[in-house]
Amino acid sequence: MKDLAAALGLLFFIEGLLFAIFPTRIKNMLKAIDKIPENKLRSMGLFFLILGFLIVWYVKQ
């Protein structure tokens, strides 16, 4: 459970850092994401979900 809390904390830290440093770019990226078809977003999300799982699984081995 400690690892999950640490991972979530790191996720929030990195996202917060990006929003703090590049607010205009984040807004532009969100506008660009709105133009991407849902199927492509779903596929990209699934890819990164699997990639993240494999990285965590490999590190925990």
Q: What is the mean pLDDT of the chain?
A: 94
pLDDT tier at 4, thresholds 50, 70, 90: confident
Percent of the chain residues past pLDDT 90, beyond the cut: 84
pLDDT for 51:
96
Taking CA atoms, 46 is separated from 1, 7, 22, 41, 42, in Å, by 24, 19, 26, 9, 6
As for how many domains the chain has, the answer is 1
Contact 26, 18 (CB under 8 A): yes
pLDDT tier at 39, thresholds 50, 70, 90: very high
Rounded to two decimals, the pTM is 0.71
The arithmetic mean of pLDDT across residues 19-43, rounded, is: 96
Find where tokens 């532009």 sit.
Answer: 28
Which residues constitute the domain of residue 22? 2-60
What is the C-alpha separation between 57 and 52, in angstroms, rounded? 8
